[in-house]
Amino acid sequence: MATYQELKQQAADLLAQAERMRQQEKRSVIAELKQRIQEYGVSGSELGFGATGTSPKRRSTAIVKYRSPDGATWSGRGRKPRWLADALSRGRSLQDFLA
């Protein structure tokens, strides 16, 4: 009967052999695919690789946090709008404009 260490070594050897076989098969599959792609003139985009025309993720619309008396809004993101900066410089409070 084999010892634990012997079985462990056999398992490692089999894993290494399986990886070598996988790499060998992978090379032949890639060569065959390249030949077929060239034969039929298939592009990467037809296969779904590269630019697929999907749009980038869009940011969600920000919720309005501040509203001026005349209806202008600001979400609180980015620079303060001029209407708000002017009102704050005249002594108004940010809480005065909470939506």
Secondary structure of the chain as H, E, C letters: CCCHHHHHHHHHHHHHHHHHHHHHHHHHHHHHHHHHHHHHCCCHHHHCCCCCCCCCCCCCCCCCCEECCCCCEECCCCCCCHHHHHHHHCCCCHHHHEC
Evaluate whether residue 2 is within a structural domain: no
Evaluate whether residue 18 is within a structural domain: yes
pLDDT of residue 36: 93
Q: The domain containing residue 71 runs over which residues? A: 66-97
Evaluate whether residue 71 is within a structural domain: yes
Evaluate whether residue 77 is within a structural domain: yes
Identify whether the C-beta of residue 24 lies closer than 8 Å to the C-beta of residue 37.
no
Radius of gyration of the chain (CA): 32
Is a pLDDT exceeding 70 seen at residue 84?
yes
pLDDT tens digit sequence for 24-43: 999 999 999 999 999 999 88
pLDDT tens digit sequence for 39-73: 999 887 788 776 555 666 777 788 999 999 999 99
pLDDT of residue 53: 57
Evaluate whether residue 72 is within a structural domain: yes
Evaluate whether residue 61 is within a structural domain: no
pTM of the model: 0.44
Cα distance between residue 68 and residue 60, in whole Å: 23
Cα distance between residue 61 and residue 73, in whole Å: 13
Contacts of 72 (CB under 8 A, 6+ apart): 81, 83
Evaluate whether residue 80 is within a structural domain: yes
Instruction: State how many domains the chain has.
Output: 2
Evaluate whether residue 60 is within a structural domain: no
